[in-house]
Amino acid sequence: MARRRDSLSDVSATTALLTDHYELTMLQAALARGTGRRRAVFEVFARSLPHGRRYGVVAGTGRLLDALEAFSFDDATLEHLDSSGVVDRPTIEWLAGYRFSGDIWGYGEGEPYFPHSPLLIVEAPFAEAVLLETLTLSILNADSAVAAAASRMTAAARGRPCIEMGSRRTHEQAAVTAARAAYIGGFSSTSNLQAGRSYGIPTRGTSAHAFTLLHDTERDAFTAQVQSLGKGTTLLVDTYDVAEAVALAVDVAGPDLGAVRLDSGDLLAQAHEVRAQLDELGATSTKIVVTSDLDEHAIAALAAAPVDAYGVGTSLVTGSGSPTAGLVYKLVAREGPDGELTPVEKKSEDKPGVGGRKFPVRRRDRNGFAEAEVIAIDHRPESDADDRDLLLPLVRSGEVVGREPLDAAQERHRQGLAELPRVALQMSRGEPAIPTLYEEP
């Protein structure tokens, strides 16, 4: 088969066109007017948490830093912009030299967040910063949506491992990054092989009904799998009759069989039945993995069942009802004609803004539990309280300084969640776990 991968190569060469048309036309107009060089502060935040959630989870930061470094306009890209007439020649010449020279601060990846938490602050000349809006939001919105869902699922699983298995239910590249976001939210492994390769996340797999159906008998299928993959493998036992399959599985693999998987029916009842059967057969260490359209509520409902691991797909990669985090990227301050940084905000009724450079902290009570997200404007909050700074330096004068291993994000999430009041872990809809307060000036 001949190769034809133009579009695949296109998208990988640079991230610069993963953006909206208007970012470039605004750039052109601002450059022409001389306002493009004005120093500007953009802020990423959510107006609200989706679906009555108690907290959000920052994810995508590490990916954003990679994407930022790949954000440049090569000759082919400039030629495309020229021939398609998106912007004029002076703008193309300016883009040819594009290099982000500003500063970026952000909440650490994995950090819980609340309405109006300033998750990312980009300070740079307007012309440089405006171009990053779409790419920044795409990455943070997609990843934070999955991480938030993952966090609730792992909380509901109470320490039992959760395996990300949703690749087939989302865009093929979003699948890779969903596995990454799920890991930040506490998942222990993924089925996605590229996520293993790109991010070092442990990969796991069981078996599909197709494998059983391929063989003439269920015994043939189990024998083939155990002989090739060893007794530690996970056998899928619901293709025909579960009880017969469990007996067969132990007969074929012996009592040291790694695990069985249930993928349909009443998982609660079946888990109890299968556990009893396995124990009776002496397979007391054989684990039970359940899958089949699980979400955080289904996982919570299985808390009392003898289940050893949850495989979660659709609901996880689609953000469990909230496939996007709803983050926005807004100009909150810019240099005025006097050279001073001036807060700005739009006045529209249903989407008002709060202008000014923000300094957020998480205020904690005497027991170390978070009690408020406190945001000061134009200065750090001044208080005797136990305040934890939330902004980390990510980019300084165009140089990425905020890289960290993925495990650090998972650990930050674990700690950040442990610090929240217990109401945060409730699955029901409600108010954010802590209020967001603006410090009085």
Q: Which region among 8-16, 114-122, 149-157, 383-391 touches its own copies (by CB under 8 A)?
A: 8-16
Per CB under 8 A, does 35 bind its own copies? yes
Number of chain positions touching its own copies (CB under 8 A): 128
2's tokens: 């001949």
Could you tell me which residues are beta bridge partners of residue 44? Answer: 120, 329
Query: By CB under 8 A, what part of segment 112-171 binds its own copies?
Result: 126, 130, 133-135, 137-139, 141-142, 165, 167-171
Using the minimum distance from each CB to its own copies, give the nearer residue, 344 or 437: 344
**Contact window for its own copies (CB under 8 A) among 22-30, 111-119, 302-310, 423-431:** 22-30
Q: Give min distance, CB of 408 to its own copies, in A.
A: 17
Looking at residue 249, what DSSP letter applies? Answer: H
Task: Specify the 3-state DSSP secondary structure of 288.
Answer: strand
Q: For the CB of residue 176, give the shortest distance to its own copies in the complex, in Å.
A: 6
Do the Cβ atoms of 44 and 137 come closer than 8 Å? yes
297-320 b/e with 16+ CB inside 10 Å = b?
ebbbebeebebbbbbbbebbbbbb
The SS3 of residue 70 is coil
Tally of residues, the chain: 441
Taking the complex as a whole, how short is the minimal distance between the CB of residue 172 and its own copies, in angstroms? 4
Rounded to a whole number of angstroms, the minimum distance from the CB of residue 249 to its own copies is: 14
Contact between 404 and its own copies per CB under 8 A: no
Taking CB under 8 A as the criterion, the residue among 160, 209, 297, 414 binding its own copies is: 209
Residues 314 to 333 in contact with its own copies, rule: CB under 8 A? 314, 317-319, 323-324, 326, 329-331
Of 94, 115, 219, 229, the one binding its own copies (CB under 8 A) is 229
| 358 vs 363, beta carbon nearer its own copies | 358
Minimum distance from residue 128 beta carbon to its own copies (Å): 12
* Alpha-carbon 189 to chain mean position: 14
| 248 interacts with its own copies by CB under 8 A | no
Q: Quick one: 91 or 117, whose CB is closer to its own copies?
A: 91
Please report, as residue ranges, which positions from 68 to 97 form the binding site for its own copies (by CB under 8 A): 68-70, 77, 80-81, 84, 86, 88
Instruction: Tell me: does residue 207 bind its own copies (CB under 8 A).
Output: yes
Query: Least Å distance between CB 337 and its own copies?
Result: 6
Virtual CA dihedral for 147, 152, 153, 155, nearest 10 degrees?
Answer: 120
Q: Is residue 1 at the binding interface for its own copies, with CB under 8 A as the rule?
A: yes
Residue 270 binds its own copies, judged by CB under 8 A: no
Cα separation, 224 vs 311, in Å, equals 23
Rounded distance between C-alpha atoms, residue 184 and residue 143, angstroms: 10
Select from 75, 349, 382, 440 the one that contacts its own copies (CB under 8 A).
349
Residue whose CB is less far from its own copies, 316 or 370: 316
Among 107, 114, 187, 199, binds its own copies (CB under 8 A): 199
Helix (H, G, I), strand (E, B) or coil at 150: helix
* Parallel, antiparallel or unpaired: strands 120-125 and 287-290: unpaired
Instruction: Report angle CA 254, 259, 261 to the nearest 5 degrees.
Output: 125
Query: What torsion, rounded to 10 degrees, do the Cα atoms 317, 318, 321, 324 define?
Result: 110
Distance in angstroms (rounded) separating the CA atoms of residues 184 and 57? 9
The smaller minimum CB distance to its own copies, of residues 208 and 276, is found at 208
Alpha carbon distance 120, 22 (integer Å) = 21
Q: Is 269 in the site for its own copies (CB under 8 A)?
A: no
Query: Is residue 66 close enough to count as binding its own copies by CB under 8 A?
Result: yes
Residue 260: alpha-carbon gap to chain centroid: 29
304 contributes a contact to its own copies by CB under 8 A = no
**Cα gap 202→214, rounded to integer Å:** 28
- Give which of 228, 218, 275 is closest to 251, Cα–Cα: 218
DSSP three-state, residue 15: coil
> Which of 37/380 has CB closer to its own copies?
37
CB of 415 to its own copies, least distance (A): 26
- Residues forming a β-bridge with 395: 104, 400
Residues 355-384 that bind its own copies (CB under 8 A): none
Among 52, 255, 265, 393, binds its own copies (CB under 8 A): 265
Q: For residue 8, state whether it binds its own copies (rule: CB under 8 A).
A: yes
The token duo for 393 is 């330096």
